[in-house]
Amino acid sequence: MNKMLMFLTTMFAVLIGTANAEAGFTYVGSWDMADLNGNGSVSDENVASNPWYWVNNPAVLSAREAAAMLFGGSYTDYAISTVDSSVANINFKAFVDGWGDTTYFSSPADQDFKLDTGAPGYNDPFGGPSFSAFVSDHGSSYGTGILVNYVFRMDGAAVPEPASMAVWSVGAIGIIVARRRRRQITA
């Protein structure tokens, strides 16, 4: 009877699940490649007073690095999407502008992509191109609301589901019971 009870308990625990809870994401904001100032106007994007204007040679950033700069924390805390602000649609891609190259406006790049050739900075790519997810260069010619990078923060690390812990507990109890029985039989 005890073997049958242990078997049924183990099978029940296995059936209710053994997976880890996945880290979740929460939408925290976005930036528009045509409106880095966030004021809804593209007219002030390509001006010398904008530190992210390409002629000012801004730092080259991946989309996740830009998210960390804007929202705090480490770039590894974030996921980027070009689809919308829904967690269900995260595609881990980003709109990235290139020095003389808009390839990644029509075909988004990986969220960690950036390229800085030549001297450091976006506007000094001699010897090769530069690509950045946070620069005022070609985005303003596309208009607002088109080239938006949506930002999601990870809620936390994967943790065992209670069902997984139940399976391990039942297994541990089974081992302890089996050892005690062996000791009683040999004594």
- Give the residue, 14 or 2, on which the prediction is more confident: 2
pLDDT tens digits, residue range 136-175?
Answer: 888 878 878 899 999 999 986 444 555 555 665 666 576 7
Average pLDDT across the chain, whole number: 80
Which has the closest alpha carbon to 66: 80, 87, 45, 48? 80
Q: Are 63 and 152 a contacting pair, CB within 8 Å?
A: no
Pairing of the two strands 130-132 and 97-98: antiparallel
Rounded CA-CA distance 137/98 in Å is 8
Q: Which of 162, 142, 154, 172 is nearest to 35 (CA)?
A: 142
Looking at mean pLDDT, say which of 9-23, 36-50, 57-71 comes out highest: 57-71
Predicted structure pTM score: 0.70
